[in-house]
């Protein structure tokens, strides 16, 4: 399946080996599927999904993804760390065993294996997968990093106008469609790093500043999180408050879902505040990936345990979605509150 010499993978893509070892160690607990084979120069790399065994259509679903930008390796590591905890707990912790009977969990920890192999943000075709969907910003985005069609040699390349999405994105789209079809409620979280001093949880849209229609449900989820973990450290806001982009994949997947399903899908992005790591260790900007990943071992360990509670919260919130989703009489109040919190400026 893998035609790159093992020594090369060990050196350039250890995350793939770590993930495959985890899959192998827990073969009895995971359903692993190769969703695509990605061309990387003369090689082919697998793009996997892993579903917790016991998947049952009709249950709420949580989809966790990472590694869409190949340089943001910490996202994949954070997700693999969570899977390690979850897989262990599922064998002995009655709370987790009960949770896993009420929610479907699907993981895609290494979405851009070719980009990670070459240590590039883009995929091996030079396309930024998070600028590649067929959705254009409503107002002009920032020059270049909002997405550009000038050249694949410049970062943030959207791909050619009118071309199909890249293979990695088509694979993710197929998984989202499959899950949407079978889930009355779906939450997703996509792990990134490289922006800001704080950990942010973004929700759509990236393509426009106007609020998303389900803003009342998103505020209800935020209030549940605030109430459950009053000391959490996340900034929760629409991505458009940080910047507008062309081609955002989650904007696109959300809209596709909305147009074809009556069920609810809330896609979130975890944007880890990597500038904190650089501020504490400025010289790391000279090391490969130093802008996007914690380098000091103690800091890396801290980041790997920093998001476990939030991921747990997402799973529990999905399992109990009927409990906290606003009823008809609360929707207008929550919508008005959300507009004043997030969209009044
Ligand atoms: Zn990213």
Provide the residue range defining the domain that includes 270: 6-342
**Confidence (pLDDT) at 12:** 84
Does residue 70 fall inside a structural domain?
yes
Cα(292) to ligand 1 centroid in Å equals 9
Does residue 252 fall inside a structural domain?
yes
Cα–Cα dist 67/144, whole Å:
21
Does residue 1 fall inside a structural domain?
no
CB 228 within 8 A of CB 108: no
Cα(67) to ligand 1 centroid in Å equals 8
**Confidence (pLDDT) at 284:** 67
Residues of the chain with pLDDT under 50: 1
**Confidence (pLDDT) at 10:** 73
Q: Where would I find the H helices in the chain?
A: 6-12, 14-25, 73-92, 94-99, 113-118, 167-182, 215-228, 249-260, 275-280, 297-306, 308-319, 321-324, 328-342
Cα(221) to ligand 1 centroid in Å equals 23
Cα(129) to ligand 1 centroid in Å equals 9
> pLDDT of 249-302, one tens digit each?
999 999 999 999 999 999 999 999 877 767 777 766 667 677 788 878 888 899
Say how many domains are in the chain: 1
Does residue 13 fall inside a structural domain?
yes
Q: Where would I find the H helices in 268-327?
A: 275-280, 297-306, 308-319, 321-324
Residue 229's domain is classified under what CATH number? 3.40.630.10
Q: Which residues pair with 124 in a beta bridge?
A: none
Cα(324) to ligand 1 centroid in Å equals 30
> pLDDT of 208-257, one tens digit each?
999 999 999 999 999 999 999 999 999 999 999 999 999 999 999 999 99
Continuous segment of H or E residues that includes residue 272: strand 264-272
Cα(211) to ligand 1 centroid in Å equals 22
Does residue 23 fall inside a structural domain?
yes
**Confidence (pLDDT) at 1:** 47
Cα(203) to ligand 1 centroid in Å equals 14
**Confidence (pLDDT) at 222:** 98
pTM across the whole model:
0.95
């Amino acid at each position: 399946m893998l035609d790159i010499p093992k020594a090369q993978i060990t050196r350039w893509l250890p995350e793939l080996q770590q993930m495959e070892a985890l899959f192998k160690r827990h073969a009895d607990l995971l359903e692993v599927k190769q969703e695509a084979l990605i061309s990387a120069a003369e090689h082919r790399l697998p793009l996997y999904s892993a579903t917790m065994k016991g998947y049952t259509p009709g249950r709420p679903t949580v989809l966790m993804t990472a590694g869409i930008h190949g340089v943001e390796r910490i996202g994949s590591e954070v997700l693999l760390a969570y899977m390690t905890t979850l897989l262990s707990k599922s064998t002995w912790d009655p709370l987790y065993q009960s949770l896993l009977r009420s929610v479907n969990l699907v993981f895609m920890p290494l979405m851009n294996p070719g980009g990670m192999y070459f240590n590039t943000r883009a995929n091996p075709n030079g396309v930024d997968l998070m600028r590649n969907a067929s959705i254009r910003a409503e107002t002009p985005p920032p020059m270049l990093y909002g997405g550009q069609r000038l050249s694949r040699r410049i970062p943030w390349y959207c791909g050619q106008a009118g071309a199909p999405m890249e293979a990695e994105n088509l694979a993710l789209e197929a998984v989202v469609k499959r899950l949407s079809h079978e889930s009355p409620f779906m939450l997703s979280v996509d792990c990134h790093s490289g922006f800001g001093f704080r950990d942010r949880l973004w929700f759509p849209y990236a393509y426009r500043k106007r609020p998303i229609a389900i803003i009342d449900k998103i505020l209800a989820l935020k209030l549940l999180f605030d109430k459950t973990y009053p000391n959490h450290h996340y900034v929760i806001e629409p991505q458009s408050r940080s910047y507008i982009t062309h081609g955002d994949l989650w904007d696109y997947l959300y809209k596709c879902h909305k147009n074809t399903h009556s069920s609810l899908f809330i896609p979130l992005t975890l944007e880890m505040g990597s500038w904190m790591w650089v501020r504490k260790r400025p010289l790391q900007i000279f090391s490969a990936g130093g802008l996007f990943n914690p380098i000091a071992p103690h800091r890396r360990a801290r980041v790997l345990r920093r998001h476990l509670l939030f991921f747990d919260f997402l799973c529990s919130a999905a399992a109990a979605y009927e409990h906290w989703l606003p009823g008809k009489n609360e929707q207008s109040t929550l919508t008005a509150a959300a507009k004043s919190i997030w969209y009044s400026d």
